Amino acid sequence: MPLDPVIKLSVEDCPAEVNDTDRKLFMEINCSLLYAAVFTRPNIAKAMTMLGRFMANPGPAHVIAIKRVLRYVVSTLDRGLKYTNKPWHVKALSTEIPVHEIVNFTYSDWAGDLNTRNSTSATCEFIACRPLSWLAKLQHIKAQSSWEAEYIAMGDGAKDTMYVRNALRKLDFYPTFGPTKMLVNSSAALGIASRPGINNKTKLSVLCSTW
């Protein structure tokens, strides 16, 4: 795995004074890996989103963590993505998916940032059974519950999906104009999204995630 799931990184790991040597090394590795995370490496997108928060003053724990990501990338250079030319299946769906159809997956780690207690949105669009576009970013409001964090992630996923749909349409690659399937790990968030109207408990998250 890119990051050790047991170790939780926070600003408490930052030194009292900036270590210029560690900071320079951290920034060099971070910028190189961030380029890969954006364009070719969806499997390190979440890790780089988390580590980028400590670029101003990284501590030894952060340097160790980013070196682990670098070793992970080096050890998986022989792995790639093979796109299928046949209809494919998702366990959560009962029907097969046409090769050109997009399916969106979203996820959120509720209050996962130990410093701000903000959640992180993660979204990925699949086509031909492989990822085509992906995104991991810190949510700009504090979710009061897990469903709210998932709902905001759904909004981020929908925006990214619209971008992908429009880009493929301009390339004459996307043949269908029907709704894109979105798979979300929260029945409560799905219920709010499908329910007409808003109330006092859902107003903020709905306004922040719906456009």
pLDDT digits (tens, 9 = 90+) for 159-169: 999 999 999 88
**DSSP H or E segment with residue 108:** strand 103-109
Tens-digit pLDDT profile for residues 151-189: 999 999 999 999 999 998 888 876 666 789 999 988 888
Whether the predicted pLDDT of 205 surpasses 70: no
What's the pLDDT score for residue 182?
A: 92
- Give mean pLDDT, residues 187-199: 76
Residues 6+ apart with CB under 8 A from 87: 96, 97, 98, 99
Any idea what DSSP says for residue 88?
B
Lowest mean pLDDT segment, chosen from 35-39, 63-67, 80-84? 80-84
- Greatest mean pLDDT among 20-24, 177-181, 205-209: 20-24
In what order do the strands lie in the sheet containing 120-127? 130-138, 120-127, 103-109, 181-184
Residue with tokens 């469903």: 147
Residue with tokens 């007409």: 196
What residue spans define the domains of the chain? 11-75, 103-209
